[in-house]
Protein backbone atom coordinates (compact mmCIF):
# COMPACT_ATOMS: atom_id res chain seq x y z
CA UNK A 1 0.00 0.00 0.00
CA UNK A 2 1.03 3.57 -0.60
CA UNK A 3 0.07 6.14 1.99
CA UNK A 4 -0.02 9.87 1.38
CA UNK A 5 -0.12 12.39 4.21
CA UNK A 6 -2.04 15.56 3.56
CA UNK A 7 -2.07 18.94 5.23
CA UNK A 8 -5.19 20.24 6.92
CA UNK A 9 -7.54 21.60 4.20
CA UNK A 10 -7.13 25.30 3.45
CA UNK A 11 -10.01 27.79 3.32
CA UNK A 12 -10.98 26.36 -0.10
CA UNK A 13 -11.06 22.80 1.23
CA UNK A 14 -7.86 21.80 -0.55
CA UNK A 15 -5.07 19.78 1.10
CA UNK A 16 -1.55 19.15 -0.16
CA UNK A 17 0.41 15.91 -0.10
CA UNK A 18 3.57 16.66 1.91
CA UNK A 19 4.82 13.13 2.60
CA UNK A 20 4.28 9.65 1.22
CA UNK A 21 5.42 6.18 2.09
CA UNK A 22 5.03 2.86 0.37
CA UNK A 23 4.64 -0.46 2.16
CA UNK A 24 4.55 -2.91 -0.76
CA UNK A 25 1.94 -5.63 -0.35
CA UNK A 26 3.65 -8.98 -0.17
CA UNK A 27 6.87 -7.39 1.08
CA UNK A 28 5.85 -5.27 4.08
CA UNK A 29 4.67 -7.01 7.22
CA UNK A 30 0.87 -7.34 7.23
CA UNK A 31 0.75 -5.95 10.79
CA UNK A 32 2.50 -2.77 9.63
CA UNK A 33 0.06 -2.35 6.74
CA UNK A 34 -2.87 -2.97 9.10
CA UNK A 35 -1.61 -0.28 11.50
CA UNK A 36 -1.23 2.28 8.71
CA UNK A 37 -4.69 1.32 7.42
CA UNK A 38 -6.05 2.05 10.91
CA UNK A 39 -4.31 5.44 10.82
CA UNK A 40 -5.94 6.19 7.45
CA UNK A 41 -9.34 5.09 8.76
CA UNK A 42 -8.94 7.29 11.85
CA UNK A 43 -7.95 10.38 9.87
CA UNK A 44 -7.82 13.26 10.34
CA UNK A 45 -5.32 12.56 13.07
CA UNK A 46 -3.02 14.62 15.26
CA UNK A 47 0.67 13.80 15.01
CA UNK A 48 3.22 14.77 17.63
CA UNK A 49 6.87 15.56 16.97
CA UNK A 50 9.18 13.92 19.51
CA UNK A 51 12.84 14.53 20.19
CA UNK A 52 14.63 12.72 22.97
CA UNK A 53 11.57 10.77 24.12
CA UNK A 54 11.97 7.31 25.57
CA UNK A 55 9.73 4.26 25.21
CA UNK A 56 8.33 5.22 21.80
CA UNK A 57 7.34 1.95 20.13
CA UNK A 58 4.36 0.28 18.53
CA UNK A 59 1.40 0.38 20.94
CA UNK A 60 3.18 2.57 23.50
CA UNK A 61 0.78 4.72 25.52
CA UNK A 62 1.23 8.49 25.38
CA UNK A 63 0.35 10.58 28.42
CA UNK A 64 -0.40 14.11 27.17
CA UNK A 65 -0.18 15.52 30.72
CA UNK A 66 3.41 14.38 31.29
CA UNK A 67 4.27 14.11 27.58
CA UNK A 68 5.81 10.70 28.22
CA UNK A 69 5.40 7.26 26.69
CA UNK A 70 4.95 3.93 28.45
CA UNK A 71 5.84 0.74 26.60
CA UNK A 72 2.99 -1.65 25.93
CA UNK A 73 3.02 -4.89 27.82
CA UNK A 74 5.00 -7.58 26.01
CA UNK A 75 6.88 -5.19 23.71
CA UNK A 76 10.64 -5.55 24.28
CA UNK A 77 12.59 -2.41 25.23
CA UNK A 78 14.83 -2.80 22.17
CA UNK A 79 11.75 -2.12 20.00
CA UNK A 80 11.73 1.50 21.21
CA UNK A 81 12.82 3.99 18.58
CA UNK A 82 15.78 6.19 19.41
CA UNK A 83 14.90 9.85 19.03
CA UNK A 84 18.08 11.44 20.35
CA UNK A 85 19.40 12.78 17.03
CA UNK A 86 16.25 12.71 14.97
CA UNK A 87 12.67 13.71 15.31
CA UNK A 88 10.02 11.03 15.46
CA UNK A 89 6.66 11.97 14.01
CA UNK A 90 4.28 9.82 16.03
CA UNK A 91 0.77 8.95 14.86
CA UNK A 92 -1.53 8.33 17.82
CA UNK A 93 -4.99 6.81 17.97
CA UNK A 94 -6.55 7.31 21.40
CA UNK A 95 -3.04 8.10 22.74
CA UNK A 96 -1.65 4.77 21.48
CA UNK A 97 1.28 4.79 19.03
CA UNK A 98 0.16 3.22 15.76
CA UNK A 99 2.86 4.52 13.43
CA UNK A 100 5.82 6.83 13.13
CA UNK A 101 8.56 7.97 10.84
CA UNK A 102 11.69 9.94 11.54
CA UNK A 103 13.43 12.97 10.10
CA UNK A 104 16.78 14.55 10.81
CA UNK A 105 17.26 17.27 13.39
CA UNK A 106 19.92 19.67 12.15
CA UNK A 107 21.66 21.92 14.69
CA UNK A 108 18.86 21.16 17.13
CA UNK A 109 16.17 22.36 14.71
CA UNK A 110 13.26 20.22 13.54
CA UNK A 111 12.46 20.09 9.84
CA UNK A 112 10.21 23.17 9.43
CA UNK A 113 8.10 21.37 6.81
CA UNK A 114 6.99 18.79 9.37
CA UNK A 115 6.60 21.30 12.19
CA UNK A 116 4.19 23.31 10.02
CA UNK A 117 2.36 20.32 8.58
CA UNK A 118 1.86 18.60 11.94
CA UNK A 119 0.70 21.76 13.72
CA UNK A 120 -2.84 20.72 12.78
CA UNK A 121 -4.49 17.35 12.25
CA UNK A 122 -3.44 15.60 9.04
CA UNK A 123 -5.19 13.11 6.83
CA UNK A 124 -3.61 9.86 5.73
CA UNK A 125 -5.04 8.19 2.64
CA UNK A 126 -4.22 4.65 1.49
CA UNK A 127 -3.69 4.20 -2.25
CA UNK A 128 -2.55 1.41 -4.57
CA UNK A 129 1.20 0.74 -4.54
CA UNK A 130 1.56 2.04 -8.09
CA UNK A 131 -0.40 5.29 -7.60
CA UNK A 132 1.20 8.36 -9.21
CA UNK A 133 0.09 10.59 -6.33
CA UNK A 134 3.16 12.02 -4.60
CA UNK A 135 4.54 15.18 -3.02
CA UNK A 136 2.91 18.37 -4.23
CA UNK A 137 -0.34 16.81 -5.38
CA UNK A 138 -3.45 18.49 -4.03
CA UNK A 139 -6.66 16.90 -2.84
CA UNK A 140 -10.06 18.60 -2.81
CA UNK A 141 -11.75 15.93 -0.70
CA UNK A 142 -12.62 13.84 -3.75
CA UNK A 143 -9.91 14.11 -6.40
CA UNK A 144 -6.12 14.31 -6.45
CA UNK A 145 -4.56 16.83 -8.86
CA UNK A 146 -0.91 16.95 -9.91
CA UNK A 147 1.12 20.05 -9.13
CA UNK A 148 0.75 22.77 -11.71
CA UNK A 149 3.75 24.51 -13.29
CA UNK A 150 4.49 27.95 -11.98
Chain mean position to CA 30: 18
Instruction: Give per-residue pLDDT as tens, 9-46.
Output: 999 999 999 999 999 888 888 888 999 999 999 999 98
Where does the pLDDT of residue 115 fall: very low under 50, low under 70, confident under 90, or very high at 90 and above? confident
Q: Return the pLDDT at 54.
A: 84
Instruction: Give per-residue pLDDT as tens, 79-97.
Output: 777 655 678 889 999 999 9
Domain ranges of the chain: 2-145
**pTM for this model (two decimals):** 0.86
Amino acid sequence: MKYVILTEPNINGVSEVFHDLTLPEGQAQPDLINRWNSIAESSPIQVINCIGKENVARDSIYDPNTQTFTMAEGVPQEAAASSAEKSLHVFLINNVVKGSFSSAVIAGVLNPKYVAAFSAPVTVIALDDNSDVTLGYTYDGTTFSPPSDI
